[in-house]
Amino acid sequence: MKKPKLRLFNTLSKKIEIFQPANREVVNIFTCGPSVYQRSHIGNFRTFLFEDTLVRYLQYSGYTVKRGMNLTDIEDKAIEEAERKKKSVKRLTEENIKQFIRKIGLLNIKLPDYLIRASECINEAVDIIENLLNRGIAYWFEGNVYFDPLKFYGFGKLYGLDMSRWPAKKKRFHKDTYPGIRWNLGDFILWRGYEKKDKVFWDTKIGKGRPSWNVQDPGIISKCFEETLSIYCGGIDNLFRHHDYTLAILESVRPYPMAKFWLHCNNLYVNGQKMSKSKGNIYYTDTLIKQGYSYSDIRFFLIYAHYRERLNYSDRAIRAAADKLRRLKNSLREIEKKANRKPDLAGKIIRNLKKTFTEKMDNDMDVRGAFDGLYDILARVNVRELRPAEASGIIKTMKEIDGSFKVFFK
């Protein structure tokens, strides 16, 4: 198949670019996975579903794709949550990982080729930290190791950080994460040294302790991929205090760029407000299933809006999406009743379906435009006048297209 000219918004360049993979043989993608100290909510799944649709569309377009994803099972939040629930960190995180894998199956999300726990890459993270120490980019302070962003040329280039705001006085930030969407202007932690009260630590060549959140992805990536990634994906919240850190760490120890394209999915809001425990507005897939929606409905609702747009969840919005999907599926069922011959793939309807789908999806993954275009074409089909071979051709084509969406057929 001739690969179409897919255009994607690259966060690094801040513009739409024609997609050209770093490796012609295989598109290597890394997606920023879940922090498994808690269950994943529908906002998390919006990002994972966008990434899944991207992978599926690349494969539809003729690319071979290898995808990696991290499972953050070591971090301050996991340790705190485990203590609160009086569980071991391993038990807590394994329970949530098991549920996460079950949910991505129900949502028809492809299991990544590499789905790796941070706890499985301690040695890789330590190797990176030792390398950074030897280069003078990282340093020890009071038993911890910190990264000095001023030692990395171009720090903050992914977000577009104004480095003129950097404080003259040295500051250090020792937590894995901090609340709020803001920048911590200072040195960030790579390694938390062992203290007597610690229950979670490893004995390594740089001593006892544990790697921070920001060095975990570089460790996992270095284990899975030994070249520039074609695409790195994640949620837009991680543009603050995470992805620029990851980039700076990995590019400090490798002589080539970390990723050619960086793609970020926007947030999901609930009735105009960001989801949070304090507001009591966190929704899980279970909540929507109990309301009568199917996993296909949920998947469609979460992929339908453009991935770079903020999506607002409301009862009315998901109901409208589910109704629209149902109408299209009803049209396909009527067409399928006549599809009892060898498919004719040369007809005008088939050409229009394929053209509409690829033109819209090539335009920065415009799922809404693609779906609406397909919907309009099928709405104009007079099923009674269809020849059986034409009907078979339409169904075959729509099944191929549904390889990307995974919402039209069972």
Per-residue pLDDT in tens (0 to 9) along the chain, 410 residues? 456 699 999 999 999 999 999 999 999 999 999 999 999 999 999 999 999 999 999 999 999 999 999 999 999 999 999 999 999 999 999 999 999 999 999 999 999 999 999 999 999 999 999 999 999 999 999 999 999 999 999 999 999 999 999 999 999 999 999 988 889 999 999 999 999 999 999 999 999 999 999 999 999 999 999 999 999 999 999 999 999 999 999 999 999 999 999 999 999 999 999 887 667 889 999 999 999 999 999 999 999 999 999 999 999 999 999 999 999 999 999 999 988 878 877 789 999 999 999 999 999 999 999 999 999 999 999 999 999 999 999 999 999 999 999 999 98
Domains of the chain: 7-265 (3.40.50.620), 273-405 (1.10.730.10)
Which residue stretches of 187-314 are H helix? Answer: 213-224, 243-253, 285-290, 295-304
3-state secondary structure 110-158: CCCCEEEEHHHCHHHHHHHHHHHHHHCCEEEECCEEEECHHHCCCCCCC
| Nearest Cα residue to 189 out of 145, 249, 242 | 145
DSSP state at residue 238: G
Q: What is the pTM of this model?
A: 0.95
- Nearest 10 degrees: Cα torsion 103, 107, 112, 117: -20
DSSP 86: T
Strands 27-31 vs 65-71: parallel, antiparallel or unpaired: parallel
Evaluate whether 274 touches 267 at the Cβ level (below 8 Å).
Answer: yes
pLDDT of residue 4: 62
In this structure, what DSSP letter does residue 29 have? E
CB of 263 within 8 A of CB of 48? no
Integer Cα distance of 285 and 45 in angstroms: 9
Residue 91 Rama label (left phi>0; alpha psi -120 to 50; beta): alpha
Q: How far apart are CA 157 and CA 65, in angstroms?
A: 27
3-class DSSP assignment, residue 190: strand
Dihedral sign, CA of 398, 53, 368, 366?
negative
CB atoms within 10 A of CB 165: 9
Q: Can you tell me the distance from the alpha carbon of 324 to that of 309, in angstroms, rounded to the nearest whole number?
A: 20
Written as six digits, the tokens of 370 are 């693609």
- Positive or negative, the CA dihedral 133, 136, 140, 146 is negative
DSSP character string of 273-304:
EE--TTTT----HHHHHHTT--HHHHHHHHHH
- Rg, C-alpha atoms of the chain: 23
Task: Specify whether the CB–CB gap between 360 and 401 falls below 8 A.
Answer: no
